[in-house]
Structure formats: C-alpha cells, structure tokens
C-alpha cells in the first residue's frame, strides 16, 4: 500500500502547485501512518487486556466451582453424620430387642433394615474407623478413658466407646476410645534403669 501511495505522489505534476500538493500528501501519509501505528498499539494493548480479563474470569469461575463443590461436600457430610447418629441409635435399639427376646422375625427384619442403612452409608463412601487393637491416633481417635495394662504396649486402644467414621479420607466423626497406660510401677522401673 505504501508503494502505491508513493507512486501516486510521484506522479503528481512537478509544478509549484503540484509540489505543494505533494508535500500535503506526504504530510497526510505520514500522519495516517502514525495514526495506524497508534491504532495497532492500542489494539494490541486492548487485546492483551481482554486476554488478561478472560484469564481472570476463568480463574474466578474455577474458584467458584471449587467453593460450590466444597460447600456441597460439607453439607453432604453434615447430612451423612446425622444418618450415622441414627444408625447408632438403631443399633442400640436392635441390641435391646435381642436382649428382651423380641420375636425372631422382628429381629431379623430389624437386621435387614440395618443392612440397608449400612449399604446406603457405604455407597456414600462412609467407612468405620478401625480402633480396638490399633495404636492411638489423635487425628481419628478421641481418648476419653485410660486403662492400666502391663500386658500390651502403651497408647494402644483397648476399648471403643463410640464408633468413628471416615468420609472420603476425612474424619466424619472421631472414635471415642479407651487407651492403655503402663501401671505406675512399670514406669518407675523404666525411669530407674
């Protein structure tokens, strides 16, 4: 395009009026080139801004999706904890029914319902925390009692007061447990050695 304009300027007659016209055209051409250069720079700047805004919006969208997913998981965990508590009550009621020699058919029906509850919890990723016979882990166990035992290592779980549950690698409810302690005389013997 620049060559055609230069040719057009060069083809103007070489008169005083033609020379002035050439100067005018050259000045206008120079002005138009500067305007074009500024427009390109402005366009590139605006394009960069748009790209940054699109990236920021995409990050915002992803963050909002993560927050919504986290809120859904949190709400789901709260609801599942309520089901776990109902299951515990149901297990206690079933134990009472067995102790009171309730009709065998009724007990079998209640056991079938318990299997359905357990199946529902398992399908949602709920698993029981293993406790008795394992080392105490404060991340998944709450120690609420101690037993003096010299026959097993210290800080081993000797009893489970309330079952704990995990939901997708997170503690839904910690186990309430009893842990072993060495009798005082065993600790004194270790200190004297």
Enumerate domains of the chain plus CATH numbers. 128-193 (2.30.22.10)
* Cα–Cα–Cα angle for 157, 95, 101, rounded to 5 degrees: 145
Q: Residue 188 — pLDDT band, cuts 50, 70, 90?
A: low
Lowest mean pLDDT among 83-92, 120-129, 184-193: 184-193
Q: Residue 13 — pLDDT band, cuts 50, 70, 90?
A: low
- The percent of residues in the chain predicted with pLDDT above 70, rounded, is 87
Sheet with 170-173, edge to edge strand ranges: 126-128, 165-167, 170-173
Mean pLDDT throughout 73-79?
92
For tokens 């149901």, what's the residue?
Answer: 90
> What's the pLDDT at 10?
52
> What's the pLDDT at 31?
93
Selected residue with higher pLDDT from 11 and 171? 171
What is the sign of the dihedral through the CA atoms of 101, 105, 108 and 114?
negative
Helix (H) or strand (E) holding 11, with range, is none
Q: Six-digit token pair at 187?
A: 């600790």
- The percent of residues in the chain predicted with pLDDT above 90, rounded, is 69
CA 147 – CA 159 distance, rounded (Å):
9
Mean pLDDT throughout 104-126?
93
Scanning the chain, the segments in alpha helix (DSSP H) are 2-10, 16-99, 104-123, 184-192
pTM (global) more than 0.85: no
For tokens 């101690």, what's the residue?
Answer: 146
For tokens 């020699």, what's the residue?
Answer: 101
């Amino acid at each position: 395009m620049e060559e055609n304009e230069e040719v057009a300027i060069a083809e103007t007659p070489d008169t005083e009026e033609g020379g002035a016209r050439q100067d005018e055209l050259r000045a206008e051409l120079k002005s138009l080139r500067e305007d074009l250069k500024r427009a390109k720079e402005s366009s590139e700047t605006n394009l960069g801004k748009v790209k940054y805004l699109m990236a920021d919006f995409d990050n915002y969208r992803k963050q909002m999706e993560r927050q919504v997913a986290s809120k859904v998981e949190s709400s789901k965990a709260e609801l599942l904890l309520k089901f776990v508590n109902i299951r515990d009550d149901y297990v206690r009621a079933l134990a009472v029914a067995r102790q009171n020699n309730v009709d065998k058919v009724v007990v079998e029906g209640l056991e079938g319902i318990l299997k359905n509850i357990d199946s529902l919890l398992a399908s949602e990723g709920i698993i029981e925390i293993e406790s008795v016979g394992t080392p105490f882990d404060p991340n998944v166990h709450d120690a609420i009692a101690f037993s003096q035992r010299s026959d097993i290592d210290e800080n081993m779980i000797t009893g489970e007061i309330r079952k704990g549950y995990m939901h997708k690698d997170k503690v839904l409810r910690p186990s309430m447990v009893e842990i072993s302690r060495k009798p005082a005389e065993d600790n004194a013997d270790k200190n004297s050695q």
